[in-house]
Amino acid sequence: MEEDHNEERNDRDENAGKRRLRKSYRKKLEETEQNKMDLIEASTEVLVEEIRNANKLFKEVKTTYEASLDSRLLLMSAAIGEAKARRMRLEASGYDAEEYIRAVRKKLFGKNADQREMAGVIGDWSKIGKLASMRTKRVPGLDAISGPLNADPPKRRALRKINKKEEDKKAKRTTKVGELNQLDFKKQINETTKRVREIHGLLEQIGLINLFEFVVNPFSFPETVENIFYLSFLIRDGKAFIDDESGQPIIAACEPPDQEAYMQGLTKKQVVFDIDMETWKKLITVYSIEKSMIPPRSETEAQ
């Protein structure tokens, strides 16, 4: 009976020890996570002391569960150490890449390295090798070599003399082309705006009229297409409408709707139709169109 009682007491003490150890590990993990940035910025001794404390806890580890907690703490400490090492490299001063290159070139070519290299003097790489062997015995990989060690000095290319007058002429031509493109673009915008206004004024004078009788020019298919194009701006802006309830597309000018009309449920509708040469000829015949309601472009340009 006494042996059973002692065994039971030992089990309770062991379980209590496990709970205490697990609690200590959880507390340590929580503190390390919270103080992560402080540990990175602190001195190395602080991190070393943290690892020593973790090692003391590890001495009491007996089961896999506590071992997993220890591994988590160890990984966290390693990550902090890596971040600290990176920061130390970034904050390190005293290394000047340009000064390093100048020193290497001086060892390779001696004094007046630039002039000697341009003259074709081959650098003495054995000096660099001897200096490197004093610091490391590791053989450099092939990826550390950029080009052949004994390359021929680069030959100077003869620069072609460029006639200044040719450059000025080329610059002027480029400028003129750019100016012409901008002028043509602005001219096209002004022409479109002018034609749209003319068609809107004409539509206000005529009133209700068949769409095809209004836009078709019986003597010019391209100008018929242009008339439809200009009219589309009036439809888009709500300055004209198309009514097809009678079975025929009737068009007329109108006042553009305000914002309140759209809020009350008015919606914009877009009508798209194709017109080719054959359709254009049929429209002229069906509607007996003998003249263009919209003045041809030649007449408006003459005005």
Tens digits of per-residue pLDDT, 85-110?
Answer: 776 654 555 556 677 778 888 888 88
b/e code 29-40 from CB counts within 10 Å (16+ = b): beebeeeeeebb
257-278 average pLDDT score: 73
pLDDT band at 281 (very low <50, low <70, confident <90, very high): very high
Of the chain, the percentage scoring pLDDT greater than 70 comes to 69
Is the pLDDT score of 269 beyond 70? no
Low-confidence winner among 82-86, 128-132, 165-169, 213-217 (lowest mean pLDDT): 165-169
Task: Please give the residue that has the higher pLDDT: either 82 or 156.
Answer: 82
179-197 average pLDDT score: 67
Low-confidence winner among 39-43, 57-61, 245-249, 266-270 (lowest mean pLDDT): 266-270
Mean pLDDT of the chain: 75
172-198 average pLDDT score: 64
Q: In the prediction, which pLDDT does 174 show? A: 53
Is the pLDDT score of 298 beyond 70? no
154-163 average pLDDT score: 57
203-210 average pLDDT score: 87
- Look up residue 168 and give its two tokens: 């000025």
Strand 250-253 versus strand 240-243 pairing type: antiparallel
44-57 average pLDDT score: 82
Is the pLDDT score of 160 beyond 60? no
Max mean pLDDT range (24-33, 160-169, 173-182, 257-266): 24-33
Q: In the prediction, which pLDDT does 4 show? A: 58
Is the pLDDT score of 155 beyond 60? yes
On whether the CB atoms of residues 217 and 294 are closer than 8 A, the answer is yes
Is the pLDDT score of 180 beyond 50? no
pLDDT band at 177 (very low <50, low <70, confident <90, very high): very low
pLDDT band at 151 (very low <50, low <70, confident <90, very high): low
pLDDT band at 221 (very low <50, low <70, confident <90, very high): very high
- Look up residue 225 and give its two tokens: 């297409």
Q: In the prediction, which pLDDT does 302 show? A: 46
